[in-house]
Amino acid sequence: MTNPLLDFSDLPRFADIRAEHVSPAIAALLAENRTVIEQLEKSGEAVQWDSFVEPLENATEKLGRAWGVVGHLSAVVDTPELRAAHNENEPAITEFWTELGQNLALFAGYKALQNAPDFDSLPQARKTIIQNAIRNFRLSGAELADDKKQRYAEIQEKHAALSTRFSENLLDATNDYALLIENLADLKGLPDDVVQSAKSAAEADEKTGYKFTLHFPSYFPLLQYAENRQLRETIYRANATKASELGAKPEWDNSEIMAELLRLRKEEATLLGYRNFAEVSLVSKMAESPAQVSQFLEDLAARARPYAEKDLAELRAFAAEQLGISDMQAWDTTYAAEKLRQQRYAFSEQEVKEYFPEPQVINGLFRVIQTLFAVEIKPDQAATWHPDVKFYRIEKDGKLVGQFYLDLYARNGKRGGAWMDDARGRRLTSKGIQTPVAYLTCNFSAPVSVNGISKAATFSHDEVITLFHEFGHGLHHLLTKVDDLSVSGISGVEWDAVELPSQFMENFCWEWDVLQHMTAHVDTGASLPRALYDKMIAAKNFQSGLQTLRQVEFSLFDMRLHDAFEPDSGQTVQDILRAVREQVSVLHPPEFNRFQHSFSHIFSGGYAAGYYSYKWAEVLSADAYAAFEEHANVEGSTLSRTVGERFQAEILEAGGARPALASFKAFRGREPVIDALLRHNGMSA
């Protein structure tokens, strides 16, 4: 127990964990797991759940939790020592999971459980676990010949190392870049809080002037507000070429890593008897085939295209007539769009942002959850990895349901983006219920100090939506009622349904009776005025055609890479992206744009041949939210505990214990339809 990574008695001991703890802890846990597996292999007893699945889950859960802590720390407080420890142990971890997935004795054990006379009388969760395990053994190459098993294992190890390297290159390229502006006049148009943050960043480096980086809260306001067109182009180019052959350092170029990852995925698919990796990916998803996904995306593109063409024509005309930009470029579009929004709807993003200080936003979020799901959220105590991190507990009827860490601000050494991850899953143990724990991570602007006075961080409305999105994932993990680990919470949920609760939660960010309780002007304390809210609603679907096509472009690009792309044909990743853009896009970025070199979702984040999930699940989430809208038509508010508790019971509590479509139909009483999605995006007839 002297090694904090081996202490599973409660929460991770973040204050005690050091890089030197990683290797001994992982070695001990791998040895323990292999001992358990050896005992199961030698056991002459008939296979039973309690004597077969339970001991295996007990051992693998410890390994998963310890390695999860290492991966989490690598993402939020990266250091050279931690990175070295992670990379040193990753091959052994990958090798173990591959061995486990190819173990014929364990495979036979799960098949015996499925064929046992009492299988049909098992709880649904356990039947699902057994069926998922058999599927996963097959996808892990358990039925391959020995020489092919060996090659499969080599592919997994190399793939894991390359994915990690992709992330590290992106993080290093992001952390390395700094743009120092000496003259305040060059920053004309930027909001005061952005200028103050840039000034503080320069001072932290003991420099004069204003420092901008490639962290989103730093670079994006330049594109959105800076009147200096050259400045916009400079930061756009730096961001669009990071981690590519056009970036700052050749050792951070992800080009060959992407090509090699695609080659390995293609080879893995071939070994398993599939035509391509997209088919492998979809075995465990709701969608039935790459063709079905492509058809769904192309149909959505066709519906969105007229709206996108109108959006673009309006933007170009406005840029030329009002801004004097007759040749609108990629670094002008965000700036022009913000100016057009201000003219058309008479408000700016910055004006709205001042009504969303962090304390009010957090309280407003908690109010929605507490109202819908009859729970209480309270501050709690735990060791954390950074002073900015907060910790909370969720209770129902006075009993602990789950806990979560909240890490909101961008900083060096922290991976970009926003995500939810599980620190611990719910399960029934011999000591009672093990409650779930989640990490909720964002990259928002931190509070700034002006003349020695600290002001609360303020969030843009988009950032508020992001927070609600990630919290939807958190609720899926934390409010589960399933007692078997492998399908409790988000575990075992089809990847193209996992975004349902997260996208569902986003809808509440547009409701007046929600925003009234989560806004207070950062200087005056006044709540969001109804007139400004009405303008936000009028602008809700501003350029939604362009935004929809952008998501379709990313999704179709991902699917084509893993469906039709032949890595050794001379075709490049850039060629595929160009072809997809020719097919579905109306707004084309410059030739130097290397978006794909930082597309972490599909090259290092588990979304390979699955990025379409965002749009696929949005059909489900919009239709689910329509049930709350129907209630609002009668009761006047979408904050319905009656509908909320039904959503909780049928979607959140069910976890992965049954197919996502069955959970949706149990909640909605029918199959999902696309109507609500089109209506929410302003694209219905």
* 634 token code pair: 């009668």
Structure tokens at 536: 């936000």
In three-state secondary structure terms, 579 is helix
243: left (phi over 0), alpha (psi -120 to 50) or beta: left
Structure tokens at 134: 């058999």
What is the rounded CA–CA span in Å between residue 45 and residue 96? 25
| C-alpha closest to that of 155 among 284, 285, 265, 15 | 265
- Identify whether the C-beta of residue 408 lies closer than 8 Å to the C-beta of residue 388: yes
133 φ/ψ angles, rounded to the nearest 5 degrees: -65, -45
- Has 470 been annotated as catalytic? yes
Residue 100 vs residues 66, 107, 293, 480: alpha-carbon distances, Å: 18, 9, 31, 27
Instruction: Work out the angle at residue 666's Cα, subtended by the Cα atoms of residues 665 and 670, and round it to the nearest 5 degrees.
Output: 30
Buried-state track 565-593, b at ≥16 Cβ within 10 A, e below 16: bebeeeeebbebbeebbeebbbbebeeeb
Residues 184 and 195: beta-carbon distance below 8 Å: yes
Dist CA 74 CA 144 (whole Å): 34
* 614 and 602 Cβ atoms separated by less than 8 Å: no
Question: Is there a contact between 218 and 212 (Cβ–Cβ < 8 Å)?
Answer: yes
Cα 665 from Cα 674, distance rounded (Å): 14
Catalytic residue among 349, 358, 470, 553: 470
Which residues are marked as active site?
470
